[in-house]
Structure 1
């Protein structure tokens, strides 16, 4: 078999239709208007399949580059190359910077032309023009840094907006008790509105001791301190203690009592409070024994009639207890805060000068002081302010007095409250360090 030399480099000639060689074309240039194309199998001709040029190992995104038809009639020169570079479509510049950076290869699809025409611009010249960087790396880094900073600023602004919304939202403290029939969620607000309106009925003149001829405020403190111990021994309800003290003060404000009858007044008030609050009422004989038989049964029953007539049978008055339960709920308290708050308010029961404050104010100040004691800083939430109707500034005077009483609770003779709250049953609440930093606040 004879060897064919038609594909030999030495025999390859560019020619026209007449078979004459083309002028101005260097090998290996593309052939025009011939029936045979050189090395068509490697797809390097215009009109053939798109050639994929890769850099590294990753294929690039596809980008169409239109080659002007005028290129088919002109040889590739430096001026034409620069013209093609400046006339590249602007669509590639609209790509994100990140996508331009990640390009590692490019697929070029030329403008299809007739089989009878070809372009003298080789792909080795066009490809570098297509891959020329459109943005300097320093500018890319700066733009990315600005973009990240703007995103961070937007996130911070969104977080601040969320925090403001959270601060403005006041939770509904009655939602957890919707299924509790004893919480009477349907009309609990109306109940407490009634307490606020009728609060004045439970208040007494803070100077009523000046009208007493045989007793003084120190004797009252001894009586209340002793009744707190009796209440603790009999394991009575908290409501009973607060109502007992209220009945004593209201009766003493209206009736002059001799010193030897003061203990009888206290025991009778305890009996009436038990009849009003307790399920099981202590026996009269047991109360007489507690008084070391200083009084008879007849004495106790006669004092009972005198007391209810003096008070006009008005036993249903709001005491600090009813406000305490509501304010503790608003403060989302735990058992420790609850016990410490009751320790504070029971200290106020013994001290005569605390009668100058309304029951609701005593309850709110007790919760506020207990929170400050446990947290170590001033703490009074918007929810507590809403339900208590007192601001932090309005509570500071009463709270400072409570801190002083807490600081001196273990000293002196009237230590019944301190000893009561030093037991495991009351969580050793009296042993907490007092919030002395409240005393350092400016008045």
Structure 2
């Protein structure tokens, strides 16, 4: 982001928060969301993007990710409609081509989703743990500073923070340490950041994730109190 001249971390947060809402409304696969954010961040690291084109980059990235992950990708007109026709079909397709060329069509990457699914299997938890872990994972997507951590570390920290919030015992097991390659002490810093994001989510300007996970269908986990041991 330091190489960008017309956009900043706050604008990226607004974009990702909005895309999480769009993703949920369109009922897309979870893999699509994580790949969308990966594509955006990779493109922003390579290309200087004017402020007026940032939303276009986000929509085009979601179109690319949908074509890669979905059985039936949303149509361009659907994305235009949900974007209040802020740009044309030709602009979306042109930006899609530009992004793919810049990324050299390399879309097969280990996103945070790949890791968190594996770790949740190792945790042998219930749906409540899954919802809580994904809530933390999506909170991290919005925050640019969380890119400090590797996707595998954030995924492990999300599972750990979820277990802390739900008062599960043990908080971290030998099985989880084996599958993640990370000891409990190695997760604390990242987990504390996630818990801090949880604590401020309801009052944040970017409420997309909090609102999504306040839905009873997702266990209303965003309404839980964050783990005191991490705050």
TM class, shorter-chain normalised? over 0.9
Q: Specify the structure having the higher radius of gyration (Cα).
A: 1
Residue of structure 1 in register with 2:197 after alignment = 405
Distance 2:210 2:24 in 1: 12
Distance 1:438 1:348 in 2: 16
Unaligned 5+ segments in structure 1 are 1-208
RCO higher in structure (CA 8 A, sep ≥6): 2
Residues 376, 435 of structure 1: 8 Å contact kept:
no
SS of the residue 1:422 aligns to = coil
Distance 1:422 1:266 in 2: 25
Q: What is the CA distance between 1:416 and its match in structure 2? A: 0.5
Q: What is the CA distance between 1:289 and its match in structure 2? A: 1.4
Residue of structure 1 in register with 2:41 after alignment = 249
Residues 422, 429 of structure 1: 8 Å contact kept:
yes
Q: What is the CA distance between 1:286 and its match in structure 2? A: 1.2
How do 1:54-93 residues align onto structure 2 when only pairs under 5 Å count? none
Q: Does 1:383 align with 2:175?
A: yes
Cα distance change of structure 1 residues 243 and 265 upon mapping to structure 2, 3 Å threshold: same
Residue of structure 2 in register with 1:214 after alignment = 6
Distance 1:372 1:238 in 2: 24
Residue of structure 1 in register with 2:144 after alignment = 352
Q: What is the CA distance between 1:309 and its match in structure 2? A: 0.3
Unaligned 5+ segments in structure 2 are none
Q: What is the CA distance between 1:249 and its match in structure 2? A: 0.2
SS of the residue 2:225 aligns to = coil
Q: What is the CA distance between 1:378 and its match in structure 2? A: 6.4
Q: Deviations over 1:8-28 (max 9, x none)?
A: xxxxxxxxxxxxxxxxxxxxx
Residues 265, 303 of structure 1: 8 Å contact kept:
yes
Distance 1:378 1:409 in 2: 27
Distance 1:403 1:382 in 2: 23
Q: Deviations over 1:177-213 (max 9, x none)?
A: xxxxxxxxxxxxxxxxxxxxxxxxxxxxxxxx11001
Residue of structure 2 in register with 1:338 after alignment = 130
Residue of structure 2 in register with 1:320 after alignment = 112
Q: Does 1:415 align with 2:207?
A: yes
Q: Does 1:238 align with 2:44?
A: no
Distance 1:250 1:296 in 2: 24
Distance 1:325 1:250 in 2: 23
Q: What is the CA distance between 1:438 and its match in structure 2? A: 2.2
My pick for the range that moved more, 253-262 or 373-382, is 373-382
Q: What is the CA distance between 1:376 and its match in structure 2? A: 6.3
Residue of structure 2 in register with 1:281 after alignment = 73
Q: Count the aligned residue pairs.
A: 231
Q: Does 1:368 align with 2:160?
A: yes
Q: Deviations over 1:57-83 (max 9, x none)?
A: xxxxxxxxxxxxxxxxxxxxxxxxxxx
The Cα RMSD (Å) is 1.0
Q: Does 1:266 align with 2:65?
A: no
Distance 1:378 1:418 in 2: 27
- TM-score by length of structure 2 reads 0.98
Residues 228, 417 of structure 1: 8 Å contact kept:
yes
Distance 1:436 1:400 in 2: 10
Which aligned runs of 4 or more in structure 1 are off by greater than 4 angstroms? Answer: none
Residue of structure 2 in register with 1:293 after alignment = 85
Q: What is the CA distance between 1:219 and its match in structure 2? A: 0.1
Distance 2:72 2:110 in 1: 22
- TM-score by length of structure 1 reads 0.52
How do 1:167-246 residues align onto structure 2 when only pairs under 5 Å count? 209-246=1-38
